[in-house]
Structure 1
Amino acid sequence: MGQAMQWVRSLIFNVSMYLAMFVIAIAFAPMALFSRHWARRACLTWCNWVRWSAAWMIGLRSEVRGTPPTGEVMIAAKHQSFLDIILIFSSVPAGKFIMKRELKFAPLLGQYAMRIGCVPVDRGKRGRAIKQMLQDVGRGLIAPGQLIIYPQGTRVAPGVDAPYKTGTGVLYQQLGQPCVPVATNVGAFWPRRGVVRKPGLAVVEFLPEIEPGLPLPHFMDKLRQDIEGASDKLLAETGLTPEEIEEVER
């Protein structure tokens, strides 16, 4: 009975989340059309609504640890579900994501993503896309802020080993900016797919920055060790068994 009720609560929450996205996007559209500031305000309003409603509708609280950066940095984050996107964006003043190009054409979501400065990238053509993005940054076509990239390139379930793509290292070297790693355990509660969201405390943690100038192999090793080590600790905090975590993904 408890699992059935959580499924129903999760379904109601999911519907309300996307309904709120539509309502907020339409309400802010006249201002967001002409102002990047108002486009970001719309996205932040929705993120805060999702965090607030998740806490009382499905018992899923969220917490941000560490010190979110405010300057010109690259953020390299563990990606487990839509929730880590929400938590990271709501924590930094000018976040913009490197995203797959297909999202550019998603109704409302794609239009707002482009307005806040997100960078669409073709899957399988990342080398060329990264070069184009660097050219755009140099020409000032992309607004300054915190560039957010997912080094594994896609959502990865908790406890699953997936390689870190070298495109993150190329960006780190060519941008010459500090890199802030971000760990998370959100996938233990909010899966990549499916309806059910579990109650608990979902966390993203901003880790100490990696200074610019490290050799590429050294940077990639440190990035992986920092993110995976911290994410494993956050996962252990949940108290969930591997079987319970796997059940979330079903």
Structure 2
Amino acid sequence: MPIKSAVQAVRTAVFYLVFLGQTVILAIIAGTIGILAGRTRLGWAVARYWCWSNVQFLRGLTGMGTHVEGEENIPPGGCIIASKHQSDWDIFAIFPHTGRPAYIAKKELMRIPFFGWAARSLDCIEVDRQKGAEAIPEMLAQAKAAIDRGCRIVIYPEGTRKAPLAPPEYRQGIVRLYSELNVPVVPVALNSGLYWGRNSLVIWPGVARARFLPPIEPGLAPDVFTERLKAAIEPESTRLSLEAIDAGYDRPMSPALQARVDAARQA
């Protein structure tokens, strides 16, 4: 392994130790608060600190910076925030800009002691992905209740983290939410996977960027909405990725990523 990569791997290991260590501690605190008092300002303060501190640790320990823009595109009141998902960074980078978010979270996370209790106290919505389409009615009921409490629903339309510039695979959950809740949808484009990829052992230096895009109005036909959503998120995410690479991408590029970059440039 080249010296530069080895040094970055050590920096990443230190970050993971700090990140996971404080996550456990804060989950115990927030989970206990959630069990004893339910949804409170103190629980939300713990969550906001977790997000803020992770951004600071990333920058200081790995050199991965954060830039989020377009917050003015989030309308007042209830809405759905539909974000590209490439990294764990997406969770705590978007959180501070969403008011009172209700994240769609997989059932497995909600079953973790303390962490799951904390998540429930922060309006998270549980979805059992193993049930497939059968899980959607329960998710919709929870989402409607969250909107009534003044939340904004945060969902990753592809359901899992994707590699940067990989072909999109949007699921039906976002379409059902859009159709049933009758609120605007704010697309979010980002390029975080360039620096912190799925199951990556190394987090690379650079500035991860996310951009809230103009909202999509409610009331469109499902197929029209889906195309509008893809047409907003995908080209802008590609643009953010290519701009970052052209500005000087300070990491080894795998053959798979290089192939996707070449294909994106040709397209």
TM-score normalised over the length of structure 2:
0.85
Query: How far does residue 196 in structure 1 lie from its aligned partner after superposition?
Result: 0.7
Within the candidate set 41, 44, 48, 1:44 is matched to 48
The question of 1:210 aligning with 2:213 is answered no
Query: How far does residue 53 in structure 1 lie from its aligned partner after superposition?
Result: 1.3
The one-letter code of the counterpart of 2:25 is V
The question of 1:244 aligning with 2:256 is answered no
1:165-204 alignment, distance < 5 Å:
165-204=171-210
Q: CA RMSD in A?
A: 2.4
- Cα distance in structure 2, aligned partners of 1:188 and 1:244: 9
CA distances 1:73-107 after superposition (whole Å, capped 9, x unpaired): 01111011111011111221111111111111124
The question of 1:19 aligning with 2:21 is answered yes
Q: Secondary structure at 1:203's aligned position in 2? A: strand
Q: Which runs of 5+ in 1 are unaligned?
A: none
1:1-250 alignment, distance < 5 Å:
1-28=3-30, 31-32=33-34, 33-36=36-39, 37-67=41-71, 69=74, 70-138=76-144, 143-239=149-245, 240=249, 244=253
The number of aligned residues is 248
Aligned CA distance change for structure 1 residues 220 and 241 (closer, same or farther; 3 Å): farther
CA distances 1:108-165 after superposition (whole Å, capped 9, x unpaired): 3322111111111111434332212333455679733110111111111101113211
Q: What is the aligned-residue identity percentage? A: 33
- Cα distance in structure 1, aligned partners of 2:61 and 2:80: 34
Q: Which runs of 5+ in 2 are unaligned?
A: 258-267
The one-letter code of the counterpart of 2:253 is E
Q: Choose between structure 1 and 2: higher helix proportion.
A: 2
Q: Secondary structure at 1:62's aligned position in 2? A: strand
Aligned CA distance change for structure 1 residues 119 and 83 (closer, same or farther; 3 Å): same
